[in-house]
Every structure is written in structure tokens, then in C-alpha cells.
Structure 1
């Protein structure tokens, strides 16, 4: 499959691809390593969709093909905080984040752009974080233990790996591909984004 940037495709990759792995990797890539290429990618998608009828692409098709709105929604809710391998998450230290994403405007954007509903009465901060990570990127936090504070049990979670399925090697190939195609970015911008 050319879309993974390699001819070496195992049956496991084919199976994961059938389960939507490509879309999850694409979101992860353009949120992180591939961010400098996002505008160019979306511009090419719009041009492709409107090629036969300039300026008249079918709006749902165009909206579905673009990633910029999804990436902006993810940034707005600070999803990348979960990517920090040194940070430990609990229901308590995610409470402020949870209150932010439960605000009506943010819940609406999460539903519209990230295709996930949040119920402030039933959901928990860690539970929502886990659902977002799994549905968007196919990764999750790991429970690393629990402790008791004032008789209350507190579970602690951590991002153990952003590369559980060797996706970083795919990201490297995509970055090389995008770097070769896109000559509009100054090299220091690329280096800053990749190292961020």
C-alpha cells in the first residue's frame, strides 16, 4: 500500500488498515510531525475535489476531506497534553481540563469535528481522555498504579508509548515525502515543528 510509504505490507497492517488505522495515523501525524504540511495537504484535497467543477465541490465531501478543523479542535482541547511521557494523570488533575471541554461550545465542537459526545454527568476526566485518544489515534493511557489519599483511591495514568505499533517509522516516511513535495516552508519551521 503506497499510502504507508512502503511496499513491505504485512497481513497485520492490512487488517489494521481495514479497521481504520490509516485515518488515526493521519490525524496523529498532522497534529504532530506533519503539522507544517497541513495547509498544503488540505489545499491539495480541495483542488482535487473541485477539479472538475472549480469552486463547486460538494460541501460534505470537502469538509470530510479537510483535517484543519479537526486539528484545531484537538488543539483547542489540549489533546497533546496526553502525549507527555513524563506527566501522570488522575481524575483530580484532569478536572480543570474536563470542565473546559464540557463547556457547551467545546462539547459541540468535539461532537462536530471529532465525532464524540461528552456527557458531563456520566463521563469522567480520564474516561473522556481515553476515549478521545483511542478513537482519534488508536493509543491510550496506561494505569501505572493507585494510591490512597484521605481514604480515597486515586488511580494514576501515563502515556507509555506514542509508538506502540511502529507508527513513527511511517511518520518519518511521510515527513520525507511531504518535505520533498512542499518547498514553501522554511527549514527552521520544519525543524521546530518536528522537535516540538
Structure 2
């Protein structure tokens, strides 16, 4: 999705789709002059092939070449620059794209179980080996493991969760600014998407699913 050949183009690849970071993320960035000019505009540096990437010039759906709107919305939620706007693992699990995929796999699994029950021999021995549900409320589908999801509660709007996080971020804006700029401070903007590696790994698991 973001195939940068170095840290400069990596940031350019991200901005090409996501647009520039919001100003408060850049306020405490110690290496900002390497990537932005004195007016806060991204420096447009051609890569080794002479290609210049311009912020906001591409659309996520166009880049992924997909018509799956819910999937694109899910990725956009996971890839927000602002941690207050970005999906938490809880938000991601309750996203419509995840819930629909989960329900589809569970329906297929139940169908296989019903078919297996119909094929049970008279002496009670099943002709098939069936997957069982582990204790503790964890469901397994193929090689993937999912925590229980309360579908009955419905799919909460992302704005509801975002409003709560905005409030929390507003109360700690100073520490947020320093943390959010960490990737530009030390990592050369190679990892501006998340400020929590465990969350990134969890989101990658969801995308793999």
C-alpha cells in the first residue's frame, strides 16, 4: 500500500493517499525540516525513478482497485493520522465489514456441522472430524481465532467512539502531541500510522482475516 524506497518517499506515499498530517502532530517533530518547508508544506522530492508523489492525489479505493466500500472504510479508520480519530481494536471489531465477514464464516461452519450430524453412523461415530468450540467463549474458524462479539448490540457508529476519544485526547493534548510525533522524531516517518505496535499487530490480524 505504501511502497516507499526510503523514509522520505515512505512519508510521501502515505501523504499521497492520506494527505498531510494534521498540524498538531507536527508541532513537536524535531526532524520536520527534512520533510516539510518553513510554511509546513510537504517537500516534494522525486524518487530514484523521477516520480514525484503529491499529497492527496490518490484515493484509497482507486489504489486498492476494489469496489468494496466497507473494506475501504475499515482501512481508512485504521489509518487515520490522528490517534483520536483512529480505530481502536474495539472499534475495528465492531465495524460492519468485520461483523459481516464473521457472520459469513460462522454460517458456513454451522452448515458444515449440520451436514456432519446428518452423516453420523448408527453406532454414534461421526464420519467426519468436527471442529469444536474451545472453552472461554473463543470461536475458531479455520486457522483464525476470534473473541466473542456481541452482535446484538449492533454496529456502533465510528463517530460515537471517536467523540469519546476526542474528549480524552483533549484532556491530555500536550502528551499526545509529543507521542504522536514520535515517528518523525526518531523513525524518520517510517511508521506514522500508529503509536502503538500491539494495536498495529492486532489490526494486521484483522486485515489478514
Query: TM tier, shorter chain?
Result: under 0.3
* Larger helix proportion of the pair: 1
Q: Which has the larger radius of gyration?
A: 2
Scaled by the length of structure 2, the TM-score of the pair is 0.23
Scaled by the length of structure 1, the TM-score of the pair is 0.24
